[in-house]
Amino acid sequence: MSAAMTRLFNDPADFTEEALAGFVQLHADLVQAVPGGVVRATETPPGKVAVVIGGGSGHYPAFCGVVGDGFADGAVVGNIFTSPATSDAISVAKAADGGGGVLFSFGNYAGDVMNFGLAQQRLRAEGIDTRTVLVTDDIASAGRDEVHKRRGIAGDFVVFKIAGAAAEEGYDLDGVERVAIAANDRTRTLGVAFAGCTIPGQDEPLFQVPAGRMAVGLGIHGEPGIAEEPQPTADELAERLVSAVLAEAPQDGGRVGVILNGLGTTKYEELFVVWRSVAPRLADAGFEVVAPEVGELVTSLDMAGCSLTVVFLDEELERLWTAPATTPAFRRGSTAASGSAQRRRPEDAASAADDDGVPDASDASKAVAGTVTRALGAIAEAMREHESELARLDSVAGDGDHGRGMVRGSHAGVEAAEAARDAGAGSATVLRRAGDAWGASAGGTSGVLWGAALAAAGDRLGDEAEIGSADVVEAVAAGIAAVRELGKAEPGDKTMLDAMVPFADALTAEAEQKSLPDAWSAATDAAEQAAQGTAELSPRIGRARPLAHKSVGTPDPGAVSFGLAMRAVGQVISGEHEESA
């Protein structure tokens, strides 16, 4: 297959950063880069609510393309199809905050929920009132009785637009939150795809649609559709989309905002042909279309396909939907020439400079920190070796980014650990710094969970105490407890926990009779077996859930990578691992 392809990049690992750099250069009149994303080029007026949106990249104009007057104040920018890190969300929110509080809004994906959720906690602790409104417009991703499980797709645009307009009108944080929730409650989308999309640097699309067929109900991360149907004509497609979306209409007739959205490689002319028959069908059903948008608003790299979004308006939502906006990718009407708006000063890049100092540590703890650092190095090596296998597992029912995320996270983790170790850190500090760096670099669900696990394990070990096998066993348990608490998954949900819990149980039992290396090895066998055993499970949480049936038969990528990581650590503990540097 050579059809689906992202062709223009340098080092694929730099794609997001380089795309963002070009975007910011081009639109310097409207936006400015800050660590973790972009904000408007003008200061947020004192007291105005800051609407901060975000998610992974690969969706342009979403999300950085709609930062500007009347729309978002800032966008947190993650890697391709990967949640931004907690630290990114905090950084953008602080840059955007004008004292009126922050509304986070983003599509309902586990990684984003965890990272923005942690960011919200920390911002509140620092006195910045922060709220979150998840977008759940995709009617294909869960039933009507489980709307809270639905993911956000092109309806993101509607909710962000309406929240941004409300903030611009001077609504307070309660008010902006209220209309964002109302907009989400009244927005429905269904999408279809004709061909998959390809992550830069990969030569296979994340999924394929057989010739002459159409995938219905796909997500915007290349998650395959929930049904496959024959490729329709443009008019048949219009009928298919309109009837599905109207089947969920909260009202009979009325005024609606509409988006016919191209997903990346569907031409505007094709969309116009479909639109020609969407509008009359809505009119026939008693709906009057207000300020429709036809074009690319929320894309999925080079995916071929489109989606139809309808927002069922009331008077307030209509006013906000039609309010003016001036952003790099979207303009409506003209926003008041903001002559009084203060341009931001170029951010002093030094502000993020690291403080290399480390807390005092005992020699015993420093020695363990050395082993921990080598163990992280072994994990990083293992992830690099298995990157494409993990990507493949994750592309069956997930979004294909697990290999990349684990490589990025583990490599950043080992670098941070080495720096801390060289500065004389003990094991707690080494693990905490590795965890922060892992979460910040990997993004995604697994990144934030691994980051939290390493930090929690470190907290259990401390920087002073002597560390014996029992402490290692407890540190492992503490790390796993952190994953459970943050991810809210249970064993059997088909996540990394399904390998972690058997690992911890076996380690606890075996360490009572065996040396740590032998116990670790037995526990790794248990983890790997359990990871393979997840193939039979059907996911109940995370990105793979909407595609549960496709996932059966394939093991959970996060469980498999955990097994690989523990195998690598075991080799360090038992002295089998050769330093490859």
Q: How many residues bind ligand ADP (CB under 6 A)?
A: 27
Bridge pairing between strands 130-135 and 31-34: unpaired
Side by side, the strands of the sheet bearing 50-57 are: 31-34, 37-40, 74-80, 50-57, 102-107, 130-135
Contact pick of 496, 565, 566, 573 for ligand ADP (by CB under 6 A): 496
Bridge pairing between strands 74-80 and 50-57: parallel
Q: Does 489 bind ligand ADP (CB under 6 A)?
A: yes
Q: Please give the residue whose beta carbon sits closest to ligand ADP in the complex.
A: 558
386 catalytic residue (yes or no): no
Selection from Mg ion, ligand ADP, none that 217 binds (CB < 5 to 8 A by kind) is: none
In the complex, the smallest distance separating the C-beta of residue 570 from Mg ion, rounded to whole angstroms, is 26
Length of the chain: 581
Selection from Mg ion, ligand ADP, none that 495 binds (CB < 5 to 8 A by kind) is: ligand ADP
Q: Does 559 bind ligand ADP (CB under 6 A)?
A: yes
Provide CB contacts within 8 A for 363, sequence distance 6+: none
Which is nearer to ligand ADP, 200 or 257 (by Cβ)? 200
CA dihedral 33, 36, 42, 44 (to 10 degrees): -170
Q: Does 495 bind ligand ADP (CB under 6 A)?
A: yes
Q: Does 556 bind Mg ion (CB under 5 A)?
A: no
Residues 421-460 that bind ligand ADP (CB under 6 A): 444-446, 449
Q: What are phi and psi of 206, to 5 degrees?
A: -65, -30
Q: Does 557 bind ligand ADP (CB under 6 A)?
A: yes
Which is nearer to ligand ADP, 53 or 311 (by Cβ)? 53
Residues 65-84 that bind ligand ADP (CB under 6 A): 83
Give the span between the Cα atoms of 547 and 538, in whole angstroms: 9
Give the span between the Cα atoms of 300 and 261, in whole angstroms: 11
Contact 443, 115 (CB under 8 A): yes
Q: Does 394 bind Mg ion (CB under 5 A)?
A: yes
Q: Does 402 bind ligand ADP (CB under 6 A)?
A: yes
In the complex, the smallest distance separating the C-beta of residue 221 from ligand ADP, rounded to whole angstroms, is 7
Catalytic residue among 27, 59, 148, 221: 221
Contact pick of 97, 381, 401, 525 for Mg ion (by CB under 5 A): 401
Q: Does 399 bind Mg ion (CB under 5 A)?
A: yes
Provide CB contacts within 8 A for 128, sequence distance 6+: 93, 94, 97, 101, 102
Q: Does 112 bind Mg ion (CB under 5 A)?
A: no
For residue 495 the two structure tokens come to: 């996540």
Selection from Mg ion, ligand ADP, none that 496 binds (CB < 5 to 8 A by kind) is: ligand ADP
What is the residue whose two structure tokens read 């505007």?
268
Q: How far is CA 428 from CA 313, 405, 412, 423, 441, in A?
A: 53, 23, 17, 13, 20
What positions carry a catalytic annotation?
221
Q: Which residues make up the interface to ligand ADP (CB under 6 A)?
A: 83, 110-111, 394, 398-399, 401-402, 405, 444-446, 449, 483, 487-489, 495-497, 541-543, 556-559
